[in-house]
Copies of this chain bind each other. A is one copy, B any other.
């Protein structure tokens, strides 16, 4: 499925500063960037950093002088999804987990799974099938947490959200991840361009590692799971921020979009009934 994605952002730079942006569509075996264009106006030389933690394409550059900086990115991306039936798929015990997955069991900045152990196990511990477990906790979040812009901020963590019960996609994802890890299920955060998300914005969701697959979940239910062009994955938003600003920089405006490429026909995928079929990047 091919998508055209784009963003335009403006930053008011007041003095020599460094920006590290994470807005480029991920290039990996699951997602092909057919074409892309990253532009700074005025022109500044940029550097794409190799991913160190999680998957991402960090663009780093230094702005020497005060300027109103316009960042523009557009790309055509092809990604494919597969459906996996978890009805009879056995769990992978911790004893056999791939080492690369183990860090996603640990608590992280916004996902204090160590403090939600009893809550997660009280609510979901007796569900036998791990896929159903994660789907159930995703729906529990969707039912109990109110989507409310402006309620939370960049310091808000899952420990807050589980009790205050309001937030945005980032908070929904953090809570999902935290509950998974508290249940000994590896889980990670990802950001992306999201087709049919209204209002248009960057989106944040999570993946749980089930039976050897990273399966997609979106506790907000605001957009189809097969319409997300991935930007980055990480432990939580601390790893996968859209922008890290060092110096005197003020974010002033943003446009984000994700559209179907010409000729594509889209059939949206959401988890609906009580089935056991999960969706993963192919």
Contact = CB atoms under 8 A, between A and B. Distances in A.
A114 B53 contact: no
A114 to B, nearest CB: 6
Given A112-B155, A246-B94, A102 B165 contact: no
Interface in A90-146: 93-95, 99-100, 102-103, 105-109, 111-112, 114-116, 118-119, 122, 144, 146
Interface stretch (A7-15, A28-36, A156-164, A194-202): A156-164
A115 B163 contact: yes
Contacts of A103: 52-53, 239
Given A52-B102, A122-B144, A159 B165 contact: no
| Prevailing SS type, chain A contact patch | mixed
Interface string A175-189: 000000000100000
Contacts of A165: 118-119, 122
Contact of A108 (B100, B102, B109, B146): B109
Contacts of A263: none
Contact of A166 (B118, B154, B166): B118
A60 interface: yes
A99 B154 contact: no
B115 A155 contact: yes
A118 to B, nearest CB: 4
Given A94-B246, A107-B109, A118 B146 contact: yes
